[in-house]
Structure 1
């Protein structure tokens, strides 16, 4: 599988480490009144969907950047690759 790194161009997936669902970037507010329930859902409850999924990948054997890769988990087709820092900043 080839991941088209936004800064370095096409790279083989073997250069990366897969972390999981990019929903991990959406941490609950710890000061919320429902923080305990929110963190329980954040930590333990995941949807098992087919189709496109946003995933976190770490470029371990390269520039050590974090990427958010949108990939079809059935076909492995990658439709979008973004720097995780840009995705996180867009949520602020």
Structure 2
């Protein structure tokens, strides 16, 4: 599978480490009243979707960037690739 890195262009997926659901960017606030439950859910509850899914990938054998890759898990077609930093900053700006 080829991942179109937003800064470096097309890269082989073997250069990357898959790290799971991109929702992990949305870490719970540790001082909230329900922090224990929220962190339990954050750490242990995962979906296994068929179809379009946003995932975290780490460019371990390259520039060491974090990416949010939107891909179809049934076909492995990559629909969108974004720097995780940009996704997190956009979310912070929207909050």
The answer, yes or no, to whether TM exceeds 0.5 is: yes
Give SS of 2:24's match. helix
CA offsets 1:17-66 (integer angstroms, 9 cap, x no match): 11111111010111111111111111111122211111111111111111
Partner-residue secondary structure (3-state), 1:30: coil
Flag as ranges the 4+ runs of structure 1 deviating above 3 A.
none
What is the 5 A alignment of 1:64-79? Answer: 64-79=64-79
* Deviation string, structure 1 residues 56-77 (Cα, Å, up to 9, x no partner): 1111111111100001111100
C-alpha distance in 2 between matches for 1:26 and 1:53? 15
Partner Cα distance (2:43, 2:17) in 1: 20
Partner of 1:31: 31
Deviation larger for 75-84 or 33-42: 33-42
Unpaired stretches in structure 1, ≥5 consecutive residues: none
Which residue is equivalent to 1:61? 61
Secondary structure of the 2:68 match is: strand
Secondary structure, counterpart of 2:23 in structure 1: helix
